[in-house]
Structure 1
Amino acid sequence: MSSANTEVPVAEASDALVLGRRIRERRMQMGMTLEHLAKLVDRAPSQLSSIENGKREPNLPLLRALAVALNSTLDELLSDEAPSARAALEIAVERAQRGPVFQALGLQPIRVSKTASDEVLQAILGLHQEVERVHRERAATPEEARRANTELRSEMRSLNNYYPALERAAHELLERVGYTEGPVSQRTVSDIAEQLGFSLHYVTGMPHSTRSVIDRRNGRVYLSSTQPSRDARAPILRALAGIVCGHEEPKNYGEFLRQRVESNYLAGAVLLPEQSAVRTLQDAKAARDISMEDLRDAYAVSYEMAAHRFTNLATTHLNLEVHFTKVHESGTLIKAYENDGVRFPSDALGNLEGAMICRNWTARTIFAQPDRFNPWYQYTDMASGGTYWCTSRVEKAKEGLYSVSAGVRFEDVKWFRGRDTPHRTASHCPDDTCCRRASPELTEKWQELAWPEAATPTSLLAALPTGAFPGVDNHEVFAFLEAHERASNSKP
């Protein structure tokens, strides 16, 4: 053991706490004061007090002297068991106060003395356990995040991805600023912000972990000055969605995901207004010429937003069941929605994100096409049953290339442009022979000789970012807002 004057590291504090409580308990059973025991072992009372409180650890000679003075043995003093139920409660509270969760709160630890009632200590311990539970929830593991995603997707499917309350909210926002028809302009979005009591500020030096920052104190929305104005509409609307939807600080990862879905939905519902977009789609259906490109161009939005908005309206207003995917060029599934029965790859719990899409699906065959200007249409015969048709495009992001696809069952393709495509594949997934297993010839040639190193995504092994808004650096955001408020207040 260490010397008598050595501080006990936090990692060793558990044993030191039990030892200290056993020494105190034995001393009190013998009716001995701290000062009397200190004289018997030739130590200062303050030193023994630190030992009894688990803040110091006695060396072996002192421990032997304490055992003799207390008419005990080394084995008895070094037992791992707390000497009583009360001592066990005190130890639990001390451990909690020395742990990282309590220290992160910045609170002054209380002195756990014999005058503190059991009820007080139990209340402190209970509060600590609840704070610790909330921290665990917010530091969601990838498994917890996927579970929340699965639950949310199930709800979206049950509602046909159509949320009437958000549609009404979007309609009311547009009505308040006098919108009538056509693409929603940047000016219209600015007017919506003004109606909600916010001004728009395009600045440099945005916190790197944010797309936008709202200052509710001063009624400002900050966005990057490098963002082209034609692309600023969706970020502004996503930022304002929290105000419109009454979002509060999310209590768990599931609530955080729901708020993001609502923000994206509201932005889409404003930029592709329901009544106007439905008329556009109904006219296209009547002409048997539904096209994601036409929807994109009619409202000057991205292809992804047009395809996703189509899924909001297709079932409720066009009586069409559909599916949607966003897939990275590596084949990894990023986003997915379906109510037409298509079988996405998933694990046993129904988690989709991170799964590998079959190489023969439209969402992956498009990456092999040299023509990136025109849409790619394809039929895919599924082993799980039925034939599906998809229209897909490739879009570029900082993480690489993505395909965005929308599709329907074979019997519904008659309403879409591109139904006459000659491109057709067959998918036998999840059978490994479809696209995951090499041919017998290549397997025999390379199985014993190939040794690749996997490029493991860092997120595969790491917990998701912590905090109320995962991935956002609050220190950076608060410093940003403080700097801009000071700059604004210093202007004449």
Structure 2
Amino acid sequence: MANGADDADGVDLAVLGPRIRHARRARGLTLAQLAERVGRAQSLLSQIENGRREPRLALLAAIARELRVPVEELLRPEPPSRRAALEIDLARAQASPHYSALGLPVVKPGATLPTEVLEALVGIHRELARATAVRAATPEEARRANAELRAAMRARHNYFTDIEALAGRIGEAVGHHAGPLTDRGVGAVTRHLGFTVERVPDLPRSTRSIIDRRHHRIYLPVTARAGQDPRTIVLQTLGHVALGHVDPTSYADFLRQRVEVNYFAAALLVPERAAVTFLREAKAERELAIDDLRDAFAVSYETAAHRFTNLATEHLDIPVHFLRVGEDGVIYKAYENDDVAFPTDVTGAIEGQVVCRYWASRAVFDNADRYATHHQYTDMGRGTYWCTTHVERTGSGDFAIDVGVPFAHAKWFQGRDTAVRARSQCPDPACCRRPPAELAARWAGDSWPSVRAHSHLLAAIPPGTFPGVDATEVYEFLERHSARA
């Protein structure tokens, strides 16, 4: 009893009731007999045993005395028997909103209900709960998880102290302090973590890599996909090992792990100490450029842009935003801590939204040379932002990688003297989403475009611990290759 209160404060009534019933039956007493002995109504004791009423301390002490058990015995948190545990599970399952919504009758787990039937019912409810959780992994659930993860990243300025420290220790152990991390260096990291890498022609199509924890192997495809840096894939895969990841329990957990291994790989490819020295020197010269960071560490422009967002606010006091945008203007990745107004849906998600056609990440595709670095000032109503944007070609098409800062911080960057100016009034439809009145008057009613649907944004999230991965293929693959061990 917490603080000596005259009730069973903090007690799980769903367990207390069955413990009282179990002790009463062990003494050979009926409910009516116990009620008479403690001087209370039988209906009250029935409610207590069924977990619907909380007994006061004085009544609980009287019950314990008549049943000849200590009060502490009745208050133990575990059910008194396997049968009682099943009854409790069934009662809780039938009390859930999901079951209530089905409009089905409630099964009372009385003494005449066979234990095997009780086990079957509890098993069905558990499967119902699991299936409900799987169905909940919809695009909306994914967008909410993305929004929550992005908010957490913003709160820490996209800087992960623990991962930086871990990557720093591993870098020291393998002798990588600055400059590009070579394939030999990646091999040293792999061996340091106790693994070997094998490239195979039969890696399941649903995977980029597979970790065999039993034999300490990492399997990769023989040839990397277009636009992918093989070093990054190895380091991201090793990140799960180094960070001690276990099977994700939800889609949000899956996303968090993906962000963490991406960060881990980038922190090894672009070590914090060397990168911060490089960036501080560039800032002092007012010569910051994502291109230079990319070239100094021999990484992709996107990796350099990501790494800049990790370090810019923490070490340079520069708020920043990042975008990865397709040719159609759809946002694939985004981050901000500079109060830029990204388009969002009702869940707060950015991914899948279309950026204003006047933003740098969209305007770059209209340049005569779209692969040249593009600099632009954009007045977005709540402030003016300077952006540096570069288009990277991948196996999935061209993507604009955009890094931007508020006007006051443009002075630190190369390209600050650009004459390119734009103005965005989005989300006002008059900005770029509503056609000019004259055009609309000429063509409204006489056009019928065939929509190119973004199926990846509409489809349900594939079920499974690792969304979209065929577990059978993975296990069959490991079985084939483990035979060589």
Check if 1:173 corresponds to 2:174. Answer: no
Amino acid at match of 2:204: P
Q: Which residue matches 1:36? A: none
Whole-Å separation in 1 of the counterparts to 2:112 and 2:364: 70
Partner of 1:451: 448
Provide the C-alpha distance between the structure 1 equivalents of 2:313 and 2:117, rounded to a whole number of angstroms: 57
- Structure 1 stretch 314-323 or stretch 230-239: which is displaced more? 230-239
Alignment match, 1:343: 341
1:463 is displaced (CA, Å) by 1.2
Helix, strand or coil: the match of 2:324? strand
Partner residue in 1 for 2:372:
374
- Counterparts of 2:356 and 2:463, CA distance in 1: 33
Q: Distance between the aligned counterparts of 2:247 and 2:125, measured in 1? A: 21
After superposition, where does 1:387-398 map in structure 2 within 5 Å? 387-398=384-395
Listed one character per residue, the Cα deviations across residues 174-193 of structure 1 (whole Å, up to 9, x for unaligned) are 11112232111111111111
8 Å Cα contact 2:153-2:159 kept in structure 1 = yes
Cα deviation code 1:157-215 (max 9, x no counterpart): 00000010000110111111122321111111111111111001112122111111111
Name the CA distance, whole Å, in 2 between partners of 1:116 and 1:281: 75
Structure 2 residue runs without a partner (length 5+):
1-86, 95-108
Query: More deviation in 281-290 or 227-236?
Result: 227-236
Where does 1:136-151 land on structure 2 (aligned, <5 Å)?
136-139=132-135, 140-151=137-148
* Matched residue count: 381
Q: Cα distance, 1:124 vs. partner?
A: 4.1
CA contact (8 A) 1:382 1:427 kept: yes
Once residues 186 and 260 of structure 2 are traced to their aligned partners in structure 1, the CA distance between those partners, rounded to angstroms, is 18
Which residue matches 1:484?
A: 481
Q: Which moved more, 1:418-427 or 1:138-147?
A: 138-147
Partner of 1:378, secondary structure, is strand
With normalisation by structure 1, the TM-score equals 0.74
Aligned to 1:431: 428
Report deviation, 1:459.
3.3
Please report how far the alpha carbon of residue 462 of structure 1 lies from its aligned counterpart in structure 2 after TM superposition. Answer: 2.6
Tell me which residue corresponds to 1:414: 411
Can you list the C-alpha shifts for 1:268-311, whole angstroms capped at 9, x where unaligned? 11110000100000000000000000000000100000001100
1:235-279: CA deviation from partner (whole Å, max 9, x where unpaired): 001001111111111111000000000010100111100001000
Correspondence list, 1:288-299, <5 A: 288-299=286-297
TM-score scaled by length of structure 2: 0.75
- Any residues of structure 2 matched to 1:88-107 within 5 Å, and which? none
Matches within 5 A, 1:35-50: none
Corresponding residue for 1:6? none
**Residues in 1 aligned to 2:270 and 2:240: alpha-carbon distance in whole angstroms:** 19
Of the three residues 265, 269, 274, the one matched with 1:271 is 269
Whether 1:135 aligns to 2:145 is no
Q: Kindly provide the CA deviation profile for residues 51-81 of structure 1, in whole angstroms up to 9, marking residues without a partner as x.
A: xxxxxxxxxxxxxxxxxxxxxxxxxxxxxxx
CA distance in 2, matches of 1:276, 1:130: 52
Match of 1:158 among 155, 159, 164: 155
* Residue of structure 1 in register with 2:248 after alignment: 250
Alpha-carbon distance, 1:115 to partner: 8.8
1:357-378 deviation digits (Å, cap 9, x = unpaired): 0000000000011223421000
Match of 1:236 in 2: 234
Match of 2:358 in 1: 360
For the 8 Å contact 2:140–2:347, the answer to whether it is kept is no
Distance in 2 (CA, whole Å) between partners of 1:289 and 1:126 is: 65
Structure 1 vs Structure 2: percent identity of aligned residues? 47
Distance 1:408 1:118, change over 3 A: farther
Alignment check: 8 A CA contact 2:249 2:465 kept = yes
Asked if the contact 1:324–1:407 (Cα under 8 Å) also holds between the matched residues in 2, the reply is: yes
Unaligned stretches of 5+ residues in structure 1: 1-85, 94-112
Alignment correspondent of 2:121: 125
1:180-195 counterparts in 2 under 5 A? 180-195=177-192
* Alpha-carbon distance in 1 for matches of 2:438, 2:114: 73
How large is the RMSD of aligned CA atoms in angstroms?
2.4
**Aligned partners of 2:321 and 2:340 also within 8 Å:** yes
SS at match of 1:433: helix
